Structure 1
Amino acid sequence: MLRPVRADRRTQPPRPAASRGMRLPLVAAAVVAAGLTAACGPSTQPVGSAAPSSAPPSTEASAIESATASPEASPTASASASASASASATPRPGSSPTRAGSAATGTAAKPSRTSSAAKPAAVPGPGYDSSADAQKLIDAALRTAKSEGRTVLLDFGANWCGNCKAADKVFAQPQTAAILGNSYQLVKIDIGGNSSANSALLRKYSPSGGTYTMPVLVVVSPSGTVRTDTHVTGNPPLTAEGINSFLRQWAS
């Protein structure tokens, strides 16, 4: 009985080649369709990343994946750009905020000091004005010193006095002028002429009498009290170091 069966199988006509040829395009079409579905369909992978596949992607699937991975179509790239811009606008820890940043946050900048006491007083030039009303100059200096927290320095001298000229040169030096402007109201009074009024002022602020060695430097508080008188103590060395030390010692 086996022999007829085998004979039947051998005598069964072979399948036509055309039917086998038709199955190959169908299989290829199924593979392409599966590749397109994997590339365009929903996926848990981030946008722009290729989904893993055991079969090699077709040309059309690769083109779609390339277009999807471009920065223009990727919201991840846009989010990264926005995060970078925000990070650049955020000040680094320990850095000082700019004025614009303070204005944006509503924080007012600290105002600079503009009080009159912070402005240095004017320092008179060299020499002595014999025509000036010394009493008015002293009164004005006392008022200004009281309002600005300074001390008054009275300089009694003469234009022909060599020591007075030496002191004037030191007063004109930047460091000494800064000390005078910040701490004193300087009044220069001529006692080298025949002004009885100025001589009376010298005796008022330096009442010890006797022979005066010019310049006579008298430091007076804003209330009019004499703090020191070089006619009694002797003048400091008429150098920058000597006069600066004297001014610092008696500054208020």
Structure 2
Amino acid sequence: MRMILSAVVAAALASAGAAAVPAPRVKAQSFEQLAKPLPLPYSQTAPAMAAVDKARARAKASGKLLLIDLGGNWCLDCRILAGTMELPEVEGWLKKHYELVSVDVGRFDKNLDVPARYGFKDRLAGVPALLVVDPKSDRLINTGKTTALSDARSMNPQGLADYLAQFAR
């Protein structure tokens, strides 16, 4: 199943013209190779909208995209994504292309003003939900693909990196 989903993601990227920015090459072949314990990336007390605004300002100043990671520490898929993003080859690549901010949405009952700002008026379809935002226009770039990683455990680390690369510039 993991290999099939990764192949589907790779095929979708190829048919979409693939990213102009190549994805980092990930050494880890499976999630079992991620550091343990998996990270708990979401602060339950951080002022979410202020954090998003600060990250957007940094992204705008640096010419990077804003990457908003919506999730909760209870979510295994969110923690797998965070563990993948902490791999040295992925972390360095992300810092080059994105300003990342993680937002705790609890059990879909906290900080929902953040996704609402980008057009999500109803409940999120799943987490992690990644919002790729153009910081100049504050416009969502990955419309329709925000919850593509909500079943991150069915992919491999390279598939997750490939997903992130399709929006990079």
- Alpha-carbon displacement from aligned partner over 1:18-60 (angstroms, at most 9, x marks no partner): xxxxxxxxxxxxxxxxxxxxxxxxxxxxxxxxxxxxxxxxxxx
Which stretch of the first structure deviates more once superposed, 198-207 or 231-240?
Answer: 231-240
Q: Higher helix proportion, which one? A: 1
Q: Which SS does the other structure have where 1:189 is aligned?
A: strand
Structure 2 counterpart of 1:179: 93
Structure 2 counterpart of 1:141: 55
The 5 Å alignment of 1:210-229 reads 210-223=123-136, 224-229=138-143
Residues 141 and 187, structure 1, Cα contact 8 Å, conserved in 2: yes
Structure 1 or 2, whichever has the larger Rg, is: 1
> Aligned AA for 1:221?
D
Unaligned runs of 5+ in 1: 1-124
Q: Deviation at 1:205?
A: 2.1
Structure 1 counterpart of 2:112: 199
- Alpha-carbon displacement from aligned partner over 1:48-83 (angstroms, at most 9, x marks no partner): xxxxxxxxxxxxxxxxxxxxxxxxxxxxxxxxxxxx
> Aligned AA for 2:74?
W
State the distance in 2 between where 1:165 and 1:219 align. Answer: 19
Residues 49 and 113, structure 2, Cα contact 8 Å, conserved in 1: no
Q: Which SS does the other structure have where 1:250 is aligned?
A: coil
Which protein, 1 or 2, shows the higher relative CO under an 8 Å CA cutoff with sep ≥ 6? 2
> Aligned AA for 1:246?
Y
Q: Deviation at 1:129?
A: 0.4
Q: Which SS does the other structure have where 1:141 is aligned?
A: helix
Unaligned runs of 5+ in 2: 1-38
State the distance in 2 between where 1:213 and 1:195 align. Answer: 13
State the distance in 2 between where 1:138 and 1:232 align. Answer: 17
Aligned with 2:79 (options 137, 142, 165): 165
Q: Which SS does the other structure have where 1:140 is aligned?
A: helix
Q: Deviation at 1:239?
A: 2.9
- Alpha-carbon displacement from aligned partner over 1:161-192 (angstroms, at most 9, x marks no partner): 11111111101111110111100010100011
Q: Which SS does the other structure have where 2:100 is aligned?
A: strand
> Aligned AA for 1:241?
Q
Q: Which SS does the other structure have where 1:179 is aligned?
A: helix
Alpha carbon RMSD of aligned pairs, Å? Answer: 2.3
Q: Which SS does the other structure have where 1:155 is aligned?
A: strand
Residues 156 and 216, structure 1, Cα contact 8 Å, conserved in 2: yes
Q: Which SS does the other structure have where 2:106 is aligned?
A: coil
Kindly tell me the number of residue pairs found equivalent between the two proteins.
127
Q: Which SS does the other structure have where 1:251 is aligned?
A: coil
Residues 130 and 193, structure 1, Cα contact 8 Å, conserved in 2: no
Aligned with 2:66 (options 146, 152, 155): 152
Q: Cα–Cα, structure 1 residues 154 and 230, in superposed 2: closer, same or farther, change >3 Å? A: farther
Q: TM-score, normalised by structure 2?
A: 0.66
Q: Deviation at 1:247?
A: 1.8
